[in-house]
Amino acid sequence: MKNYSICMIGFGNVGKAFAKLIARKAKQLSDDFNISFSVAAIATRSHGRAINYSGINLKKALDISAGNGSLDELSAIQNPESIQGFIALSKADFLLENSPVNYETGEPAITHIKAALTNNMHAVSANKGPVVHAYDELIALAHASGKQFLFESAVMDGAPIFSVFREALPAADIKGFKGILNSCTNLLIEEMEKGSTFEEAVAHAQSIGIAETDPSGDIDGWDASIKVAALVTVLMGIPLKPQDVDREGIRDLTPHLIQKAKKDGKRWKLVCTAEKSGGKILAKVAPRLVPSSSPLFSVNGTSSLVIFKTDVLPGLGILESDPSPETTAYGLLADILNILK
């Protein structure tokens, strides 16, 4: 049985879920694929770093990250100061890049992925930043290095958005898409439909881990815009930055407007659209009134939906219901398994 080692950059909710997932699926991975995984390195912002070529004790790592300890105590060697040096010294087969997204530049995740690809590692990420800010560069570097860079979890968690076109729909030309891609704002609007104030809705989303301490990336439409940019860049072949998306968030969407729409049999949704027109892309993120006849109407809670229009399939929808860190972690594992396949 072949063992593959992993270097993890970031050990937040998704990283922890991934650690639990590979432990839970260890027997299935052994029986079905004749492989196993060990985590050789973990780097965090607030809980230290560790490298152990024999494999880090993940139960201890999870316990430490849940408290105030440092992963340094699990390291078998002295950790270098730079994160690039840390990645190189890990000597892992795969890098899992899960640092916080930078909407404007994609850094430092881009640098992390470059470090992996130039040090004989495949790179897998749930980070949208590198996809929109350095896609062509990273794919070219991966090809030159004889490695792969995959990122299925960057949009809609573990749902197969990118791979379905890469593997199941060859030569399909995407003309455009529309959908709900930000689960946080979808939940906030639904809470206000139930009678909550905007502040109460945000507090609820934060309490269940859907909204960050600073939720502006969701509320102001940045998260939705960078997901639109990622889909356009990869699937439509036209580089697009989130700054190029016509963006409007939900700050001006009051409970009064939401309740009025509900009485009229409609719902407000933060709708994402992109359309190819004359070789250019018209991309927009904005609140829209959705009638009950629209498939977007029934997308509830933290669920997401995207509907693609292609030259061969006029309407192809992909729905993800109630995502969680576990679904994102599965997307990371699926990327690793697809690389090995």
Active site residues: 227
- Cβ atoms < 10 Å from Cβ of 84: 17
Residue 102 sits at φ, ψ, to 5 deg, of -110, 110
Q: From CA 73, how far away is CA 60, in angstroms rounded?
A: 10
Q: From CA 5, how far away is CA 93, in angstroms rounded?
A: 5
Lateral strand order in the sheet of 316-320: 246-247, 280-291, 266-277, 174-180, 304-310, 316-320
The Cα-based distances of 195 to 113, 255, 257, 290 in angstroms read 44, 7, 12, 19
> 3-state DSSP: the chain helix, strand, coil percent, rounded to 5?
45, 20, 35
Q: From CA 327, how far away is CA 331, in angstroms rounded?
A: 6
